[in-house]
C-alpha cells in the first residue's frame, strides 16, 4: 500500500527529534574524553612550579645560609664591606674551637703550641711574638652580644674552604671521595622526589652533580652551586668517583712534651708554712721510692693573679741532691682556707692581663727556684670558668714549653658534670694529666661510702684514656679513708690516715671484711644510737688499684699525701714503678 503523506511526515519528525539527542550524546562523550585526557595530562605532566628561593633560604640582605659539607646549619654568615664573617659560636662549634674572646679587654686570642696571636675587636691587625701584622679587613667585630670573626682571619689558623653564592655559602672542613653523575638531558632539580614537586633550578645537559643519596626513581644530588635537591635517575648517567683535594694552607705546630723516661712516682708534700719545709727528710724517709716531689707552696691570694709562696731554695737543692724532680704546686684554695680571704679564680682567669701576669710570675718563680715543673691544682671551678681555665693552661703551656718545664694539672675523676675541665685539650697541651682518683664520697658530703672504690677508679681511668694519651696519665691514690658516723638523719665524718688505720681499728676492736664490690676492707659497728662505717684504704686496696693502673699502661702514680703511708704500701708502689 502506498505510504501516505501523513505517515512520511511522522517518520521525518521522529528523525529530527533523535538528532539533538545524538549530538548531545556525542558532546557528552567528547567532553568526558577531554576531561579524562586532561586528568591524564595533569597526572603525568611535569610541574612547572618554581620554589621562591628567598623564602627557601629565609635570609635578609647581606645574610647567608651556611651549608657545611652537605648539612644546612641553623647558623648564619654575614657580609660586611665585602668580607665574610661567621659568629664566634659558629666558628668554635664547626670550624676551630681554639679561638678565645676576652670581652673584658676587647680581645680575640688564638694560642698555638708556641705562641698566642692577639687582635683587638674592630681592628685590622693582629700581633704575635713576631710583631704586628696588618690585614685588609676587620679581623673581628662586636654587634650587640655577638662577636663575628672574619672568614679570612679564621683561615690563618684553620684548614677549611668556602664559596659564596647568592643566598648561601658552601663550607668544607673535610675532604674525601665523592660520587658524581652527568646530567644527560636538560632537566630540573626539584625540592622533593616526584614530577609534581616544585623546581629549585634548571639543570642543563652535561652538568655534573654530586650524588648524595641514590633512590629507586629519584636521587638526592648537589649541584655545582651547592643546591641540594632531587633529580630523576633516568636523566643521569656515568657514575664516577672523584677524590677531593684537601685544603692544607695551615700547618698546626706540634705540641711537644717534656716527660720522665720512667714512670712518674709523685708524692704530694703538704706544706702549710715555711716551717713545713724542714719535714722534707721525714717525708723522703717514708716515700723513699718517689722520683718527683710536689710541695704545696703557692696559693692565689687575690683576684689580680697574685700568690703567696712558702718556697725554699734549700728544699729544692736537697731534693735535687737525692735525684728527685720538684714540681711546685699552685692552688686556688689554701690561702683562703688559711686566712678566710675570698679568692675568685673566675675574676683572674677571664682577664687576659691577669692571666698573663700569673703565667709570667709562675714561670719566673719556677726558674728562679730551679724547679723542674709546675703543677696546677685549681679546684672547685664552675662550668662558667671552663673555657677561661683552658685558655690559661694553653698560655701557660707555651711558656713552659719554651723553658723546658714540665706542666702537670690535677683533675677530678671525669664525670658528666665536670667535662668543662676538657681533658681532651689538656691531653694535647700538657705533659701530664693527673687524675685525683678519690673523693668518690668526700668529707662533708653527708653521703657515707668509699673514698675510692675500684669501679670508680677504673671507670675514671677508662674515661680519661678516651681523651688523653696513656703515657701522660697519672693516677693519684688516697693514703687515707673516712670514718662515717650516722645517727638518724645526721651524718658526721673524720679522716683516718693509712698509717693510723691499724691502731684505730685495734682501739675500736673492729675486724674488717673484704668487700669484692669496692675491693676494699669494710667494717661497720654500732655504738649507742650511732652507726659507724669505714671503707678502708690499705695495702690490699692499693694493690688492686695498682694492678688496674698497670694493666692500662698509664704514665705513673701519685700519692696524696706524703706522711700518710705505710712501709707496705710504699713497697707496693716501688714494685709498680719497676714494672
CATH superfamily of the 257-432 domain:
Glycosidases (3.20.20.80)
pLDDT of 12 > 60? The answer is no
Domain 178-243 is of which CATH architecture?
Answer: Roll (2.30)
Assess contact for 536 and 481: CB atoms under 8 A: yes
pTM for this structure? 0.91
Cα 51 → chain centroid? 39
Enumerate the domain spans of the chain.
55-164, 178-243, 257-432
The tens digit of pLDDT for each residue in 424-468 reads 999 999 999 999 999 999 999 999 999 999 999 999 999 999 999
The tens digit of pLDDT for each residue in 239-290 reads 999 999 999 999 999 999 999 999 999 999 999 999 999 999 999 999 999 9
CA distance readout (Å), 165 to 64, 159, 168, 246: 8, 21, 5, 21
Q: DSSP character for 198?
A: P
Distance CA 97, CA 34 (A): 65
Distance CA 174, CA 191 (A): 26
Cell of 501: 688505720
Q: With the C-alpha atoms ordered 214, 218, 223, 228, is the resulting torsion angle positive or negative? A: negative
Q: Determine the pLDDT at residue 8.
A: 57
- Is the model more confident about 5 or about 170? 170
Q: Which residues contact 245 (CB under 8 A, 6 or more apart)?
A: 175
3-state secondary structure of 572: helix
Could you give the angle at the alpha carbon of 299 between the alpha carbons of 294 and 304, nearest 5°? 140
Q: CA end-to-end span of the chain, whole Å?
A: 138
Give all strands (DSSP E) within 258-297, no chain letters.
Answer: 264-269, 292-295
Give all strands (DSSP E) within 499-562, no chain letters.
Answer: 513-515, 520-527, 530-536, 556-560
Exposure on the CB side of residue 340, measured as CA atoms within 13 A: 0
Q: Which DSSP string do the residues of 309-338 spell out, in sequence order?
A: E---HHHHHHHHHTT-EEEEEEESSHHHHH
Cα 451 → chain centroid? 28
Beta-carbon neighbour count of residue 53 at 10 Å?
15
The answer to whether 178-243 and 257-432 have equal CATH topology is no
Q: Determine the pLDDT at residue 15.
A: 58
Distance CA 159, CA 171 (A): 11
Beta-carbon neighbour count of residue 110 at 10 Å?
21
Q: Which DSSP string do the residues of 350-372 spell out, in sequence order?
A: T-HHHHHHHHHHHHHHHHHHT-S
> Confidence band (pLDDT; 50, 70, 90) for 6?
low
Amino acid at each position: 500500500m502506498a505510504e501516505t503523506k501523513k505517515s512520511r511526515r511522522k517518520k521525518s519528525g521522529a528523525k529530527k527529534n533523535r538528532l539533538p539527542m545524538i549530538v548531545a550524546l556525542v558532546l557528552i562523550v567528547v567532553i568526558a574524553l577531554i576531561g579524562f585526557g586532561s586528568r591524564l595530562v595533569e597526572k603525568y605532566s611535569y610541574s612547572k612550579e618554581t620554589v621562591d628561593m628567598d623564602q627557601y633560604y629565609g635570609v635578609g640582605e647581606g645574610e647567608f645560609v651556611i651549608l657545611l659539607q652537605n648539612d644546612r646549619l641553623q647558623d648564619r654568615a654575614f657580609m660586611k664591606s665585602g668580607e665574610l664573617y661567621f659568629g664566634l659560636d659558629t666558628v668554635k662549634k664547626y670550624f676551630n674551637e681554639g679561638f678565645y674572646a676576652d670581652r673584658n679587654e676587647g680581645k680575640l686570642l688564638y694560642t698555638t703550641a708556641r705562641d698566642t696571636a692577639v687582635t683587638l675587636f674592630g681592628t685590622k691587625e693582629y700581633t704575635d711574638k713576631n710583631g704586628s701584622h696588618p690585614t685588609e679587613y676587620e679581623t673581628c667585630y662586636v654587634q650587640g652580644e655577638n662577636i663575628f670573626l672574619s672568614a679570612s682571619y679564621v683561615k690563618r689558623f684553620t684548614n677549611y674552604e668556602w664559596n659564596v653564592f647568592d643566598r648561601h655559602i658552601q663550607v668544607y672542613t673535610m675532604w674525601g671521595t665523592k660520587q658524581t653523575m652527568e646530567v644527560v638531558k636538560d632537566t630540573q632539580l626539584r625540592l622533593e622526589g616526584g614530577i609534581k614537586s616544585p623546581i629549585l633550578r634548571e639543570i642543563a645537559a652535561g652538568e655534573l652533580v654530586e650524588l648524595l643519596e641514590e633512590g629507586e626513581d629519584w636521587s638526592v644530588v648537589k649541584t655545582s652551586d651547592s643546591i641540594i635537591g632531587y633529580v630523576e635517575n633516568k636523566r643521569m648517567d656515568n657514575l664516577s668517583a672523584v677524590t677531593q683535594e684537601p685544603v692544607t694552607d695551615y700547618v698546626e705546630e706540634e705540641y711537644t712534651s717534656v716527660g720522665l723516661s720512667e714512670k712518674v712516682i709523685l708524692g704530694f708534700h703538704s706544706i702549710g708554712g715555711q716551717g713545713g719545709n724542714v719535714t722534707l727528710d721525714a717525708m723522703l724517709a717514708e716515700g723513699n721510692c718517689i722520683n718527683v716531689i710536689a710541695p704545696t707552696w703557692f696559693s692565689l691570694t687575690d683576684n689580680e693573679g697574685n700568690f703567696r709562696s712558702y718556697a725554699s731554695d734549700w728544699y729544692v737543692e736537697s731534693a735535687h741532691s737525692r735525684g728527685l724532680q720538684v714540681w711546685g704546686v699552685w692552688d686556688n684554695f689554701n690561702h683562703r682556707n688559711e686566712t678566710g680571704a675570698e679568692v675568685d679564680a673566675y675574676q683572674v682567669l677571664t682577664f687576659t692581663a691577669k692571666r698573663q701576669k700569673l703565667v709570667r710570675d709562675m714561670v719566673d718563680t719556677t726558674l728562679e727556684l730551679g724547679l723542674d715543673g709546675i703543677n696546677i691544682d685549681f679546684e672547685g671551678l664552675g662550668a662558667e670558668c671552663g673555657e677561661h681555665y683552658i685558655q690559661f693552661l694553653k698560655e701557660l703551656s707555651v711558656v713552659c714549653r719554651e723553658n723546658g718545664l714540665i706542666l702537670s694539672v690535677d683533675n677530678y675523676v671525669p664525670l658528666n658534670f665536670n667535662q668543662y675541665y676538657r681533658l681532651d685539650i689538656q691531653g694535647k697541651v700538657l705533659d701530664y694529666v693527673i687524675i685525683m682518683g678519690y673523693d668518690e664520697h668526700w668529707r662533708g658530703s653527708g653521703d657515707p661510702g668509699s673514698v675510692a672504690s675500684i669501679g670508680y677508679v677504673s671507670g675514671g681511668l677508662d674515661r680519661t684514656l678516651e681523651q688523653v694519651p696513656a703515657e701522660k696519665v697519672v693516677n693519684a691514690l688516697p693514703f687515707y679513708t673516712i670514718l662515717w658516723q650516722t645517727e638518724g638523719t645526721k651524718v658526721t665524718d673524720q679522716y683516718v690516715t693509712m698509717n693510723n688505720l691499724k691502731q684505730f681499728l685495734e682501739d675500736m676492736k673492729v675486724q674488717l671484711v673484704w668487700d669484692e664490690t669496692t675491693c676494699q676492707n669494710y667494717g661497720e659497728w654500732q655504738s649507742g644510737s650511732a652507726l659507724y662505717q669505714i671503707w678502708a684504704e690499705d695495702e690490699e686496696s692499693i694493690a688492686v688499684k695498682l694492678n688496674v693502673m698497670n694493666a692500662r699502661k698509664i704514665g705513673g702514680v701519685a700519692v696524696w699525701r706524703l706522711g700518710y703511708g705505710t712501709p707496705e704500701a710504699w713497697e707496693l708502689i716501688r714494685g709498680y714503678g719497676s714494672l
